[in-house]
Amino acid sequence: MTFDYYNNVPFQNDYPSDDQTQMQINCNSIAAIFDVDHIGFELDSGPVVVGSGKHRQITFNDISTPTNLTGQKSVFYTQKGIKKVVPNPSFVKSTHNDYLGLIKAFAVFQLPLAVGGATPTIYNSFNIKSVNLLLIGTTFTVVVTPVSLIDNSPLVPPNVGVIITTSRPYSTDYNYINNLQINSVPPSIPGTPNIVTVILLQN
Amino acid sequence: MSFAYFDNIPGENNDPKVDQPRMKINTNSISSWIDVDHVGFRQINGGTHRVCSFAGFAAPSAPTGVQSVAYPAAGVADTTKPQFYFRNSQMILPLSLIKAYGIFIAQVGPSYFNQVNMNATITKSSNNYTLTVNSNIITGNSPGILVTASNPYQVNYAYNANVLQLFDVPINSFVTVVFYQI
């Protein structure tokens, strides 16, 4: 979308009627361009508007490279990721850049009892397609598969950061090839659930 | 940078030529003001953002209903520098909590496969590894640190002055470290 606009109107020596068309175009373009990401004006021909001037969302048209930040100044912007070359959100200040989109997927789930079957109870997750269990002896192999959003990047070891914590004692043992396989995870025991938290990171 | 702007023009009883200079200034100021953070007029995708610049700290009041606000405010560890927060009707979330992160393989000649805000050099001594966070990222000596290795590992570390030492890391493990601070 493009909004037409005429600078320098009204001209100094024009009759108002000379510039009326351009001024009307400007008038409408101003209202329309504010409306893209913001709550715009309440037009006399339109509905009641509440919250004029606030954002609806922030749409980034491109990546950027902010410079010359000092003191308390800061910028929220996007830059390309390293492994997956798409825009990622960033927040930069005078000292450094914070990468806001590092966490790509997340899940917290409870393992069943060793005799209770092989279905985890997923309490909360994001960008996770599935969590599957395989009981081997007295422990579980847990396979966590992220959604295709992550799959279509070459996420093979060690391109994905993996953080795993469990509520029962466990020394992490995993491999990651397209999905996360966590090995020898102790099951829940009566009165003591084993709750697993998994975070996948990538820049 | 500031842009001049004249309210209340054209005046009701003014000859248009009286208001013409100020109306022209307004016309140009509107265009320039939008250009600061947005894609401006006569450009593809006009109205979308290039960046979202903050002039200083903000302290928005609690939104109501489905309203929310993203804003910069002082950090906790360093109150002089902005951190990025998100506030809805019920809570304030720190968006810039992760300060640094890296993945490497615990082996001879370790290097990062993916990292942010980490010095590129990793040193190995026996099965101990020394990693360094870039300067000005962490304030003080108490950042949150999460470490996970792909091979069985009882996490054992020490941190001081941007330097993280990981002890007794299983050989050939994929190791992820994440530093948190607000």
Give tens-digit pLDDT for B117-137. 999 999 999 999 999 999 999
The reply to whether residue A61 touches residue B40, judged by beta carbons under 8 angstroms, is no
What's the confidence (pLDDT) of residue A149? 56
**Which 17-76 residues of chain B touch chain A by CB within 8 A?**
20-21, 23-24, 27-28, 30-31, 34, 38-57, 67, 70, 72
**Which one of A59, A76, A198 makes the best mutation probe of the B interface by having the most chain B beta carbons within 10 Å?**
A76
pLDDT over threshold 70, residue B23: yes
Contact residues on chain A for B102, CB-CB shorter than 8 A: 161
Please state whether the peptide bond connecting residue B16 to the residue before it is cis, i.e. omega within 30 degrees of 0. no
Distance CA A84, CA A103 (A): 13
B179 touches chain A (CB under 8 A): no
pLDDT over threshold 50, residue B14: yes
The reply to whether residue A5 touches residue B21, judged by beta carbons under 8 angstroms, is no
- Which candidate, A25, A21, A52, places its Cα nearest to that of A39? A52
Angle between the N-to-C axes of helices A16-37 and B16-37, in degrees from 0 to 180, rounded to the nearest 10: 30
Lowest mean pLDDT among A51-55, A77-81, A115-119: A115-119
Return phi, psi of residue A162, to 5°: -130, 125
**Which 147-166 residues of chain B touch chain A by CB within 8 A?**
148-154
pTM score of the predicted model: 0.89
ipTM of the predicted structure?
0.86
Say what percent of chain A tops pLDDT 90.
69
